[in-house]
Amino acid sequence: MNFFMPARLYTGEHCFEKHGDLLRILGKRCTIVTGKHAAKESGALDDITAALASCKILSSVFDGIRKNPTVSSCIEAGTAAREHGADFLIGIGGGSALDATKAAAVFAANPGLEEDGFYRREWESPPLPIVLVGTTAGTGSEVTKVSVLTDSKGRKHSIHDDRLYAYASFGDSRYTMNLPLSVTLTTGIDVLAHCTESYFSKKADQLSRVFAVHGIRLLYEPLSAAAEGKPLSPQQREQLYEASIFGGLAINTTGTCFPHNVGYYLTENYGIPHGFASAAFLPDLLKLVVKDDRDYADSFFREIGFGEDAILSLTGKCLPKNSIAMTEAEILTALPRWENNGSVQNTRSAVTTEMIRKILIQKYQKT
């Protein structure tokens, strides 16, 4: 069993205001990296800027991060931070903003670094210190060393590096209270994918399975309520946020499996939100592991407290109606990307490109 997660994590109401003074040690200037809307609408941006001001830390804001952030936008954010003379960066938002902040911290410390050098981790200087404030209950990026970005060719890639851990992360579920239903569902189902894929990863160990199981137990009731269109209570929102952290801890240990990487293709080419794209292949993962290792699959269902049918039902309620139609040529063209792919090979059961071809044909091929 191996475990390493050096980020300080604070949760609960007003946790940033309560603990923000610990950032004084990082310096006197920072740049906040975020998107156009979520940080402002959630109230997080006002809270953080006020807390920074009380600590006499001068802040600037870069709000050019969008969903599925591009490497180029992270270069822009890093440049803005460097021009501000930032000593550290604060990311506010969902997984996109938090992942982008990690990359921006690299570019801020390495002027002239290009995309290839970033992915090859040819960083002459370590990233600037990173502070993360989550506003969705999804990726768990607050506790991972992972940054998922879209490259100049439109392909999503993940980079894993111990230097990308946050100095400190803050999780105040108040910032998730008014999330739209669609965001609640796609981020929530992403947590289910994280936990399930982690459990069925070749790298799963006793501790990662504890994270995965507890994440699903926390998640199931509030996500089921959201899938039925019911308004969520503050307690349910807190459960979803806690579940996302456990999902992050799980995949930080094990990585993801084939549903996540095949899901990238749906996001890149059909605009499917990341969580929905990953969860689209959860039924295929469960079918595979039940067939190949029934005893291990049964241990999973026993530990989470409900069976395969319950997960499939919840997934089906969360996912939007399928609107994708692929040609056979499109499917064949995509297959090479999954040859020797790390997430595909990380799946506990063997997965081949031929198996992925059949899954895509069954789900999406035009008739």
How do residues 130-167 score in pLDDT, each as one tens digit? 999 999 999 999 999 999 999 999 999 999 999 999 99
| pLDDT bracket for residue 367 (50, 70, 90) | low
Question: What per-residue confidence (pLDDT) applies to 171?
Answer: 96
Question: What per-residue confidence (pLDDT) applies to 271?
Answer: 96
Q: What is the full DSSP assignment across 50-108?
A: HHHHHTT-EEEEE----SS-BHHHHHHHHHHHHHHT-SEEEEEESHHHHHHHHHHHHHH
More confident residue, 177 or 38: 177
Backbone φ, ψ for residue 69 (5° rounding): -60, 145
Contacts 24+ apart (CB under 8 A), 273-277: 273/67, 273/182, 273/186, 274/67, 274/68, 274/95, 274/186, 274/190, 275/138, 275/185, 275/186, 275/187, 275/188, 275/189, 275/190, 275/193, 276/185, 276/186, 276/189, 276/318, 276/319, 276/320
Whether the CB-CB separation of 257 and 343 falls below 8 Å is answered with yes
Q: Which of 355, 334, 277, 283 is nearest to 313 (CA)?
A: 283
Q: Show the domains of the chain with their CATH numbers.
A: 8-176 (3.40.50.1970), 181-364 (1.20.1090.10)
Backbone φ, ψ for residue 326 (5° rounding): -110, 150
Buried/exposed 211-250: b ≥16 CB within 10 Å, e otherwise: bbbbbbbbbbebbbebbeeeebeeebbbbbbbbbbbbbbb
Residue-wise pLDDT tens digits, 75-112: 999 999 999 999 999 999 999 999 999 999 999 999 99
pLDDT at 305 over 70: yes
Buried/exposed 153-176: b ≥16 CB within 10 Å, e otherwise: eeebebbeeeebbbbbbbbbbbbb
Mean of pLDDT values over 278-292 = 97
Q: From CA 119, how far away is CA 201, in angstroms rounded?
A: 24
Question: What per-residue confidence (pLDDT) applies to 331?
Answer: 96
360: amino acid identity, one letter: L
pLDDT at 4 over 90: no
Question: What per-residue confidence (pLDDT) applies to 270?
Answer: 96
- The answer, as to whether pTM is greater than 0.85, is yes
pLDDT at 1 over 80: no
Mean of pLDDT values over 26-52 = 95
Whether the CB-CB separation of 142 and 245 falls below 8 Å is answered with yes
Question: What per-residue confidence (pLDDT) applies to 5?
Answer: 87
Q: From CA 277, how far away is CA 29, in angstroms rounded?
A: 38
Question: What per-residue confidence (pLDDT) applies to 2?
Answer: 78
Question: What per-residue confidence (pLDDT) applies to 7?
Answer: 85
Whether the CB-CB separation of 163 and 108 falls below 8 Å is answered with no
Angle subtended at Cα 147 by Cα 142 and Cα 149, rounded to the nearest 5 degrees: 135
| pLDDT bracket for residue 3 (50, 70, 90) | confident
Classify the C-alpha dihedral 85-49-113-74 as positive or negative.
negative
Classify the C-alpha dihedral 69-72-73-79 as positive or negative.
positive
| pLDDT bracket for residue 281 (50, 70, 90) | very high
Question: What per-residue confidence (pLDDT) applies to 104?
Answer: 98
Mean of pLDDT values over 164-189 = 96
Helices 206-227 and 181-199: crossing angle in degrees, nearest 10, is 150
Taking every pair of Cα atoms in the chain, the longest distance, rounded to a whole number of angstroms, is 63
Phi-psi region of 122 (alpha: psi -120 to 50; beta: other; left: phi over 0): beta
Across all residues in the chain, what is the average pLDDT? 96
